[in-house]
Structure 1
Amino acid sequence: MLIEMSGDEQRLSEPVLNVLVVDDDELMQHTLSVYLSSLGHSDVIASNGQQALDCLRDEHFDVILLDINMPVMNGSEVLAAIRKQEQQTGIHQIIIMVTGYAETDDLRKLTEAGADGYVVKPVDPIKLEFELIRLTR
């Protein structure tokens, strides 16, 4: 017997992720939050890198969506701090960089710095969903 399921029913079987959104732009925060909510995921917002590190001390996140250009502590500095902490804890944190830099060399540098993936602004919700699935399976 073949049972067909609608897209909403299929999504219910997908794992619910707790995502830390780190971006200083309120519109981008809202956009990413709406995308994540539509996929059934929960999110917490941090407006700069230091807030992100504070959030990580208090809560577990399945994925971090991390902007590069932010005040206080930029995304590259946050990425380096998290990867350094991982060497002590042995626990890998999935980090997807959210960037306006779409040049191949820029994206390669993000990967070399330790990013697990990236999405380019303006963020395409389908590409975001693909990265989330690719990195959490």
Structure 2
Amino acid sequence: MDISNLKILVAEDNPMNTLLMKKLLAKWDIKPDFAANGAEAVDAAKAKGYDLILMDIYMPIMDGYEATAIIRADEDKDKAQVPVIALTASVALDVRNKIAEAGINDFISKPFNQDELREKLEEIASRK
């Protein structure tokens, strides 16, 4: 399935993870936008419509939980309902519960499996 037309925002503060994500998505012909923290992610999500946000949970200035909650409260329902997938190193039960409470749709554990990410992207592309 062609996923190259997906408009994706990657919220990630770690430069190495950003580089890895950029290279991986480029392999699938996706040119995502990047935000270095939750506040930048909120600003980007308000300014532009995305098909998906890949959201790191633990970032400076504003974490992924708070950023997602603000995005979910947007008056523009299309922007408020954008799928958000958390990128997290911790999948402990309390983290899973917080992810759900914040309105995050799904999560991928770091380090993540490329096939798992591709599968989730294809699922989102099929709904467009």
- Which category describes the TM-score, using the shorter chain as reference length? 0.7 to 0.9
Q: Secondary structure at the match of 1:20?
A: strand
TM-score when normalising by structure 2: 0.86
| SS of aligned partner of 1:119 | strand
Normalising by structure 1, we get a TM-score of 0.81
Residue matched to 1:90: 77
Higher relative CO (CA 8 A, sep ≥ 6), structure 1 or 2? 2
Percent of pairs with identical residues: 27
What residue in structure 2 maps to residue 57 of structure 1?
Answer: 46
**11, 20, 24: which one aligns with 1:35:** 24
User: Is the contact between residue 118 and residue 131 of structure 1 (CA under 8 Å) also seen in structure 2?
Assistant: no
Please list every run of 5 or more consecutive structure 1 residues that lacks an aligned counterpart in the other structure: 1-10
In structure 2, how many angstroms separate the alpha carbons of the residues matched to 1:102 and 1:42? 28
For residues 53-101 of structure 1, the C-alpha deviation after alignment (integer angstroms, 9 at most, x for no partner) is 222233222111000111111100001101111xx22221111110011
Paired residue total: 124
The residue aligned with 2:70 is: 81
**Structure label with greater radius of gyration:** 1
Q: Output aligned runs, 1:1-137, within 5 Å.
A: 11=1, 13-14=2-3, 16-85=5-74, 88-91=75-78, 92-137=81-126
Unmatched 5+ residue regions in structure 2? none
8 Å Cα contact 1:65-1:97 kept in structure 2:
yes
